[in-house]
Structure 1
């Protein structure tokens, strides 16, 4: 079928879909236990239109300054709220349900909104609805970003405990030339496909996948807290063709996928993003799906640029995150000046057409006068233009034994066959800095052999980079997409220092244990 080239409003596109494919499922929410709910394109259009009228009345009551803050879940209700806000032209901020009220208020204030919000419950739209209605909070603009109200806001990961809000002005209308976008097109997105969303609907990639999936007449499946076996069953039974994951999800899904590789046969592509992927984990998925069905994307919520790499390219250049897609890459110094010599430097990205003014809404980024901006990562580019990420610049830690890179060290430890997860942190005590490392073993009953771990690490880094403090935990505090919660991790070590932590492996906070042994 030939695609129309007409640009439509979001509501106009939904009406068009409701007329063309009224009874086709638009969104199917699959929940634990195998049950599901679904909504057709016709009913989706009706429900979104009704919600948009409600949101438009809020906007009029607040002289156009209304902003809807929604604790988004992987659900039909959250999808309808986001789509309705776009239809009504009301700025929507889908955010994590776990965000603390004080943190939310501070993030809103720093973004030019009122930190004061009022809670509103949206009643169920149908008597047969199983939910009791969705909750949103309403606030208002004090000073809109760029002097104009964006279509939606998204929060940075907030791993330091201080999320920042990024404004977006896309999806104000439906342009068939831009849906699917260049990244999704490169990663084998097909119009009308069956796609599965498992990541929370407040992450930049998921929001884009949700909106574009609906507008591109896909069947969008939402996996609501499924365990790995149920997720594989959904992929197989529903013949899912396209899926976005993070390395954290890939790690938890891998054992079940290895047991039942045939359940992945319908997939045309998986796209992983958000975090560095350990090489053995990446290779395991390439062994399962092949190089033409695995893609990786590097970028950030701030939208400064993006790189993409296929599995086949990665096998030829292990560790790379790809070449710029409509993006220029510069390896520079702290001032943004291009490095004259080969080696590691700050990674700067520039979207085609970007200028210095492009980054005025994200002043926390290090940017240059000619439109490049850095997400704070260090890396290098090879002779063919492929980017390699070394670590976050903020992860560089000067310890008493030398310079350590916390992210790189954690990533190396996560490649050990006995380690499921690891995350490092700098510990300061009376001016003395050590590296502390949380470890999660694959067998929770096994205490890791630290001497063997250090022998493993020694093949990839210097001995001065090894942790001085190890703590074994059942789980590392992370966001829903897998980014470490630095505040919670520090609290774990502080608890250990006061002898409240239950499972020390070795620690200078506890009784002296010879380095490389276990307690």
Structure 2
């Protein structure tokens, strides 16, 4: 391996005895020196079992130190880590395995029952998360002489598949390293930083948003598994966390706990929100406690970190993700291919060394997404006169009703600000007259007698008539994807079935 790519070895040399990883459940910790030795041992074990440059090593596990073990081990031999979403069905998991064709799959002991369904003559398994795995982590270290370049693949993360078949997003050493460098420099991370990670580590948000950047800077990652509001508050204070990234659904739970009301977070620099646009009442809840709060934007194919905004600016520019970070470029395009003017909505295009390499086995999808080095994200945003970006929503989520463009996010923000609404999501449903009509799915706080007419009057005080939802559909809880986003694909199915009823 080219020595300059193995940054974990260098970090272990610089700060060998500094805690790199702490497990929230067991409080067990690993220093950088121990983490690097584990990765070298596991790399030697994988190599002895035929893993070579370019081979895929799959992993199905809850959040666990094995994610870091195997990512860094794959880095040392040129193999590709493929973390699997354990929330998928067995059929979906087998479909992904058939696509990426790993030679080995690590299966956490909690999912041991899946082993017969996920292994065959071409892929064998090993158990992680128990004593037998610790024997692998102490395997005799041997010299591995693979020639690895920065553009070689290191990880492959499958997209959620909410718009079709999941795609394997191939991330090179370069893309992962440059996302970390860009984040450290733009966000000002250091070895003094500690975070707790509750985001699933099979997702780029759990692996690359904060975990890898903080480790590279010499900070500490606390691995959290199941998110629980009161427990999260306790852990944030106990481990003296300085920064944390959660998704809006987690924050929605957090702001309703008495533990958050009572906590002071003396070490916390900033709370970050990602994965989906954040309702503005969450901003308000943190500002009332005089806690710094902001949100970001990213995707598996780029980063996932792309913007920076200071907590001070986030108070003034509420809802903005800020400006492009130091080592990436952003532009917004109109439908005719021209760049937008201030406050015009356009598709987000991203370019930088943190970009993904290609979609595994999907050349056409790669060519459609990457053009002249720019990633066409399918997301919409506007930029104000001072250069601050605001995410508007997905291009595919834009509603065209009677020839007018409606962006669901602004309506969602307004509905979420209503004191009797828990959560809201807005989609377009087919309509013979208008093409689409605006429909709002809401969950209501109890007790409540919120009527449709009251909701329409509430919206009329903010929006033009064509933006006001024609339907308000009440659900006990809005459906979520495996990463905590509201599942609009499922909402469309619910809305369509109601229309057929």
Shorter-chain-normalised TM-score: which range? 0.7 to 0.9
- Whether the 8 Å CA contact 1:278–1:415 is kept in 2: the answer is yes
Q: 1:12 aligns with which of 1, 5, 9?
A: 9
* 2:375 matched residue in structure 1: 373
Inter-partner Cα distance in structure 2 for 1:497 and 1:173: 45
Q: CA deviation digits over 1:156-208, x for unaligned, max 9?
A: 3433243322211126998xxx6952324433422143221111112323312
Comparing 226-235 and 116-125, the one that deviates more: 116-125
* 1:288 matched residue in structure 2: 289
Change (3 A) 1:474 1:184: farther
- Whether the 8 Å CA contact 2:195–2:242 is kept in 1: the answer is yes
Change (3 A) 1:54 1:439: same
- Whether the 8 Å CA contact 1:17–1:41 is kept in 2: the answer is no
Change (3 A) 1:467 1:340: closer
**Residue 10 of structure 1, CA deviation:** 4.8
**Residue 64 of structure 1, CA deviation:** 4.1
1:323 has 2:314 as partner: no
* 1:183 matched residue in structure 2: 183
* 1:437 matched residue in structure 2: 440
1:29 has 2:28 as partner: no
Q: Per residue, is there more helix in 1 or in 2? A: 2
**Residue 462 of structure 1, CA deviation:** 2.1
Highest RCO, 1 vs 2 (Cα 8 Å, sep ≥ 6)? 2
* 2:114 matched residue in structure 1: none
Q: CA deviation digits over 1:403-456, x for unaligned, max 9?
A: 54334333332222211112233333778644433211232x535322222222
- Whether the 8 Å CA contact 1:401–1:464 is kept in 2: the answer is no
- Whether the 8 Å CA contact 2:63–2:225 is kept in 1: the answer is yes
* 1:502 matched residue in structure 2: none
Q: How many residues align?
A: 466
Q: 1:78 aligns with which of 64, 67, 85?
A: 67
TM-score normalised by L of structure 1:
0.76
Q: What does residue range 297-376 of structure 1 map to in structure 2 within 5 Å?
A: 297-303=296-302, 306-325=306-325, 326-339=327-340, 343-351=344-352, 363=366, 366=369, 368-369=371-372, 371-376=373-378
1:162 has 2:168 as partner: no
Inter-partner Cα distance in structure 2 for 1:172 and 1:321: 21
Q: CA deviation digits over 1:473-517, x for unaligned, max 9?
A: 22222124322323433343455567xxxxxxxxxx5xxxxxxxx
- Whether the 8 Å CA contact 2:233–2:260 is kept in 1: the answer is no
Change (3 A) 1:87 1:470: same
* 1:412 matched residue in structure 2: 414
1:96 has 2:85 as partner: yes
- Whether the 8 Å CA contact 1:47–1:125 is kept in 2: the answer is no
Inter-partner Cα distance in structure 2 for 1:342 and 1:8: 41
1:49 has 2:40 as partner: yes
Q: 1:123 aligns with which of 120, 127, 139?
A: 127
Inter-partner Cα distance in structure 2 for 1:179 and 1:333: 27
Q: CA deviation digits over 1:195-252, x for unaligned, max 9?
A: 2111111232331232343344333111221411111111112211221122222221
Inter-partner Cα distance in structure 1 for 2:345 and 2:176: 41
* 2:248 matched residue in structure 1: 247
Inter-partner Cα distance in structure 1 for 2:171 and 2:132: 35
Inter-partner Cα distance in structure 1 for 2:130 and 2:344: 60
* Other structure's SS at 2:263 match: helix
Comparing 397-406 and 329-338, the one that deviates more: 397-406
- Whether the 8 Å CA contact 1:228–1:256 is kept in 2: the answer is yes
Q: CA deviation digits over 1:245-276, x for unaligned, max 9?
A: 22222221112277535342221222222211
* Other structure's SS at 1:391 match: strand
Comparing 307-316 and 431-440, the one that deviates more: 431-440
- Whether the 8 Å CA contact 1:10–1:87 is kept in 2: the answer is no
Q: Give structure 2 stretches of 5+ with no counterpart.
A: 104-117, 138-148
Change (3 A) 1:311 1:243: same
Inter-partner Cα distance in structure 2 for 1:488 and 1:120: 35
* Other structure's SS at 2:289 match: helix
Change (3 A) 1:74 1:312: same
- Whether the 8 Å CA contact 1:233–1:263 is kept in 2: the answer is no
- Whether the 8 Å CA contact 2:184–2:213 is kept in 1: the answer is no
Change (3 A) 1:163 1:128: closer
Comparing 417-426 and 429-438, the one that deviates more: 429-438
Inter-partner Cα distance in structure 1 for 2:335 and 2:439: 27
Change (3 A) 1:36 1:480: farther
Inter-partner Cα distance in structure 1 for 2:136 and 2:493: 35
- Whether the 8 Å CA contact 1:335–1:368 is kept in 2: the answer is no
Inter-partner Cα distance in structure 2 for 1:355 and 1:56: 26
Inter-partner Cα distance in structure 1 for 2:389 and 2:66: 39
Change (3 A) 1:207 1:198: same
Inter-partner Cα distance in structure 1 for 2:455 and 2:276: 23
**Residue 298 of structure 1, CA deviation:** 2.0
Change (3 A) 1:126 1:43: farther
Inter-partner Cα distance in structure 2 for 1:127 and 1:487: 41
